[in-house]
Amino acid sequence: MASRFSQIPSVVQMLLIANGGMFILELFSGGQLINSLALWPLGLPDVTMFGTSAPHFQVWQLVTYSFLHGGIMHLLLNMYALWLFGSRMEYWWGSKAFVIYYFVCVIGASLVQLYVTTQAVGEGGIHPTIGASGGVFGLLLAFGLTFPNERLVLIFPPMVLKAKWFVLIYGVIELWAGVTGTEAGVAHFAHLGGMLFGFLLLWYWRRNPPRYQ
């Protein structure tokens, strides 16, 4: 098992460990990590209950939200995708470029989601955003564009699909779900934001290839 884990590239390894460690801390924090590190909308009312101030947006939340998860399945699905697509992309780009790309997607996803959730505050919707999905969806896009004809074996529905079609279909589903409000509680616009900022960075790199490995 140790030898298999050592074959995972270094940054993906560290992200897997960090996300797993933060999830364990979440279980024992009594909600304190969610209050301080999840991505909260702007403009929340300043309320204090039982001596504890209501959570508010802080700039570090643009990154820290991505290390928190809402349950074991949420964590496992994101970490599986991070390992599956992230390992290939880190080997392809090198670790430095991978770090830059991943966190551009994470921050881009949070900016888009921050705008959407802030608009919802006036309608009575106050929800924090957590999860690595913004970075993961950015990696999914990069994988599909870099290895478009790679065949992916899907479990549900059971079928084999080329990566380029998988990315396109998934992106359309996320856009439809976000606009229509389907699957309430899922940060569809964060997913789309990760893909959008990932695409913009790939477009920039195509004209100005990164010189770091």
Q: For position 48, what pLDDT does the model report?
A: 44
Structural domain includes residue 212: no
All residues at 6 or more sequence positions from 50 whose CB lies less than 8 Å from its CB, including other chains: none
CATH code at 57?
1.20.1540.10
Q: What is the reported pTM?
A: 0.88
Q: What is the pLDDT of residue 36?
A: 92
Take residue 200 and report the two structure tokens written for it.
């913009």
Is residue 187 a part of any domain in this protein? yes
Dist. CA 5–CA 19, nearest whole Å: 15
Nearest CA to 69 among 112, 129, 123, 130?
130
Query: Tell me, what's the pLDDT at 101?
Result: 97
Q: Is residue 76 part of a domain?
A: yes
Q: Is residue 213 one of the residues assigned to a domain?
A: no
The residues pairing with 196 across neighbouring beta strands, listed in sequence order, are none
Number of domains in the chain: 1
Range of the domain at 201: 2-207
The pLDDT value recorded for residue 79 is 95
User: Residue 2: what pLDDT?
Assistant: 46
pLDDT the model gives residue 53? 59
- 3-state secondary structure at position 47: coil
Q: What is the mean pLDDT of each run of 10 residues along the chain (213 residues)?
A: 67 97 92 91 64 76 96 92 94 95 97 88 75 94 93 74 83 66 68 94 92 66
CB 41 within 8 A of CB 120: yes
Whether 144 is in a domain gets the answer yes
